Amino acid sequence: MSPVCGFLSVLATVILSGALGGLRNFLEEQAASDAKLILFFRRFVEAILAAAVVPLFLSIIGNNIIADLLSPTAGSNSNWLSDWLYAILKLLGFCIVASLYSRKFLDTVSARVLNLEKQVKETKQEAQKATQGIELLTNAVVESDDQPAPASLAQLVVAPPAAEHGQQILKAFLTAGVPVRSVQGLSLSTNLPHDQVATCLSELEKQTFVRSIETPKGIRWVLTPAGRKVLGDI
């Protein structure tokens, strides 16, 4: 089935179900209103709008009915008709429910869409803040103008830390999902004694794989870009 046919069938379903829902709503409210014609068209349009929003609603909840209807069906030709009819019936059901409760449905979907936009915006802002924070904290070495630039990438490669404990501690930075760590936290994460972790961290700092930060509550540790790189080599 071609995408155009799929689109037309979706459109027809939306209009039909919207019309049915609107008519039902009008009949229910008939007694309460004098301006029946105006009320009729109001409800009719509301119901059409609600049914039209159903594809958006389906995409928010991760349902693929519309995609199945619009794209060519895979599989054998003998099955495509039953699959298509099934999808149409499901869509019809969604649209009828949406049109019956058109006002409430429109409010709910609008709120969800706005909320999603807000969440995406907030997540982007947080990700940006986290990236900036990590960049500020993990700038390990400032290259001076006197130092010659490395001739090749090979000169930047550093030997992975020999001690197994050092590797364990470095991995704990990445796997935890918490960029700023304490000695106690790393000791708990790696099951290594507190003093051993502290010694390892000093060694790792000398090799520029980690960096210490002074905070009012004590020393905290962060992974440097060199540390991240060497983790990729381990």
Partner 1 sequence: MDEELGDVGAVYDELQNFFDDFQVEFRAATNGLTLHFDRPVITNVAQSYIYDLARYSKFHEIEIPDLARRAGYLAKWLLRLRPVRCDADVTAMPEEIGKLALTVNELFALYVVSGILRIDLEARLTPRTLNMVLYSFRYRATSEDAFFLFFVHLSESA
Tell whether residue 184 is a contact of partner 1 (CB under 8 A).
Answer: yes
Distance CA 51, CA 83 (A): 22
Q: How far is the CB of 201 from partner 1 (least distance, A)?
A: 13
Question: Residue 81 or 176: which CB sits closer to partner 1?
Answer: 176
Of 17-36, which residues contact partner 1 (CB under 8 A)?
none
> Per CB under 8 A, which region of 33-41, 99-107, 210-218, 223-231 contacts partner 1?
210-218
Nearest to 58 by CA among 66, 47, 68, 50: 66
Given 30, 59, 64, 115, the residue binding partner 1 (CB under 8 A): 115
Tell whether residue 211 is a contact of partner 1 (CB under 8 A).
Answer: no
Question: Residue 94 or 173: which CB sits closer to partner 1?
Answer: 173
User: Contact letters (x/-) for partner 1, 75-114, by CB under 8 A?
Assistant: ----------------------------------------
Tell whether residue 208 is a contact of partner 1 (CB under 8 A).
Answer: no
Which residues are at the interface with partner 1 (CB under 8 A)? 115, 118-119, 122, 126, 172, 175-178, 180-182, 184-191, 215-217
